[in-house]
Amino acid sequence: MTLHERFRRFVRRYLYIYEDLDTEGAAQRIKSAIWFRGINVWILAFSIIIASVGLNVNSTAVIIGAMLISPLMGPIIGTGLALGTNDLDLLKAAGKNLMVMVMISLAASTLYFMLSPLALVNPTELEARTSPTIYDVLIASFGGLAGILENTRKERGTVLAGVAIATALMPPLCTAGYGLAHWNMHFFLGALYLFVINGVFIALATYVMVKYLRFRQVSSIDLETAKKRRNIISAIMIVVLVPSIWSAVVLIRENNFERNVDAMMEADRFVGPRTYVYDYKVDGRKVVFALAGESITDSLKTAFYPRAGEYHIPEKSISLLEHSVSLSQQDMNDLIEEIYDRTELELAENDALVETVQARMDALEQNVLSLRAASDSLIAASDSLKAQNAALQHKVDSLSAKGGKRRR
């Protein structure tokens, strides 16, 4: 068998998927899942409230639970199926239900955040949904591919639940509702953009996979219409992709800037002989160094900025916040002596504590030795009793044997 034949056999055995497909059944399941009426509307509203509570209290577990019960994927996958099979009626129905879904989600989350008495001091879960990047595009794309493959499989498993969690369609809508409730356009627009990214690329992945798996076409289209559709899809992709790529670039730059500042501070915090950085805060690509000690002079600044430049921290990104303390040499000596005395006292207290613990450990060790000696004595006594018991048993057996002989 040649290498090429082995490779073909490997591909057919492990990567071939057409034997496990049910495209007709998948199309019916997807079509039935796009409708939002009756029970589906209530389930959506309840899951939105659950997710909003999770975001409100910064609980990841609650948010994941809400994503598991939410029926948000249906209209989005239905849109991809409609585009891939040229089903205009399905496309209209999916688009209509998608709008209903978004309106219900925004209304429920906005109402919740308007009524919620909890004030968010550190809304990390909400803020995480306001700055989408190219990585969110990748998650949505591969999540959509996994979702449509799971729908087409004859024996379906739990992949759709994982896709619902990974693509995270619900939290952006809840965050957008928070932005509406508090008139915070940063939260509203950022979260809505994340939802658009997820929706567009899940639908696009579905469209690509529907074409690849050769779903039955509902109607045929001419080459001109097909070309126009591809151009529209490409334009939408570019419009959605460009801001996310730029956001990813900004995120990477900010992350590298923060790492450079941390590295600089780990190397040396002293700005001068009696001035040091006691705290610092990074905000984007800006850093504020809080200084303590003597007032920093122009010569010290002149030396500090080039040192920061070695860590790729430009001078324009640095702000110095001084808390200067002018001390005479005698005051400085007194302060050092006070710190030394306090340190000596703390060391003495620690030594006394160590001695107390050591004494207790010695006492425990003696108790352990005593218990071990008593245990050895008990073992010896037990062995002696066993020997005596064996001797008595031997005598009893001998007497029993003699008594038997006399009876005979």
**CA 352 to CA 46: how far, in whole Å?**
61
- Phi and psi torsions of 325, nearest 5°: -135, 110
Confidence of residue 328 (pLDDT cuts 50, 70, 90): low
- Residue 292: beta bridge partners? 276, 323
Res. 25: pLDDT tops 70:
yes
For residue 261, give the H/E element and its range.
Answer: helix 223-267
Q: What is the pLDDT of residue 16?
A: 67
**CA 198 to CA 196: how far, in whole Å?**
5
**CA 389 to CA 383: how far, in whole Å?**
10
Confidence of residue 301 (pLDDT cuts 50, 70, 90): confident
CA atoms 350, 351, 353, 358: torsion sign? positive
Q: What is the pLDDT of residue 352?
A: 86
Q: Which is nearest to 101 in space by CA: 233, 199, 208?
A: 199
Neighbours of 351 (CB within 10 A): 10
User: 20: which DSSP letter?
Assistant: G
Q: Which is nearest to 195 in space by CA: 65, 101, 64?
A: 101
- Phi and psi torsions of 327, nearest 5°: -120, 140
Helix (H, G, I), strand (E, B) or coil at 353: helix
**CA 258 to CA 291: how far, in whole Å?**
18
pLDDT of 174-187, one tens digit each?
888 888 988 888 88
Confidence of residue 258 (pLDDT cuts 50, 70, 90): confident
Q: What is the pLDDT of residue 122?
A: 61
Res. 408: pLDDT tops 70:
no
Res. 323: pLDDT tops 70:
no
Neighbours of 398 (CB within 10 A): 10
Q: Which of 58-72, 112-126, 143-157 has the lowest mean pLDDT?
A: 112-126
Name 184's Cβ contacts closer than 8 Å, sequence gap at least 6: 178
What mean pLDDT is predicted for residues 283-299? 78
Q: Which residue has the higher pLDDT, 60 or 325?
A: 60
Res. 293: pLDDT tops 60:
yes
Domains of the chain: 16-220 (1.20.1080)
Confidence of residue 157 (pLDDT cuts 50, 70, 90): low
Q: What is the pLDDT of residue 333?
A: 61
Q: What is the pLDDT of residue 248?
A: 75
What mean pLDDT is predicted for residues 122-147? 77
Q: What is the pLDDT of residue 325?
A: 52
Helix (H, G, I), strand (E, B) or coil at 255: helix
Confidence of residue 265 (pLDDT cuts 50, 70, 90): confident
Q: Which of 42-56, 114-128, 197-211, 240-254 has the lowest mean pLDDT?
A: 114-128
Confidence of residue 121 (pLDDT cuts 50, 70, 90): low
> Position 15: which residue type?
L
What mean pLDDT is predicted for residues 97-110? 89
Phi/psi region, residue 231 (left: phi>0; alpha: psi -120 to 50; beta: rest), is: alpha
Confidence of residue 407 (pLDDT cuts 50, 70, 90): low
Res. 11: pLDDT tops 70:
no
pLDDT of 337-367, one tens digit each?
776 677 788 888 888 888 888 888 888 888 8
Q: Which residue has the higher pLDDT, 173 or 395?
A: 173
Q: What angle do CA 340, 345, 349 make, to 5 degrees?
A: 145
- Name the pTM for this structure: 0.64
Q: Which is nearest to 126 in space by CA: 102, 105, 109, 101?
A: 109
- Phi and psi torsions of 118, nearest 5°: -80, 125
% pLDDT > 70, the chain: 87
Confidence of residue 38 (pLDDT cuts 50, 70, 90): confident
Res. 324: pLDDT tops 80:
no
Query: Cβ distance 130 to 175 under 8 Å?
Result: yes
CA atoms 385, 387, 390, 394: torsion sign? negative
Neighbours of 127 (CB within 10 A): 15
195-234 CB burial, b ≥16 within 10 A, e <16? bbbbbbbbbbbbbbbbeebebeeeeeeeeeeeeeeeeebe
Cα 184 to the center of its chain, rounded Å:
25
CA atoms 105, 191, 140, 122: torsion sign? negative
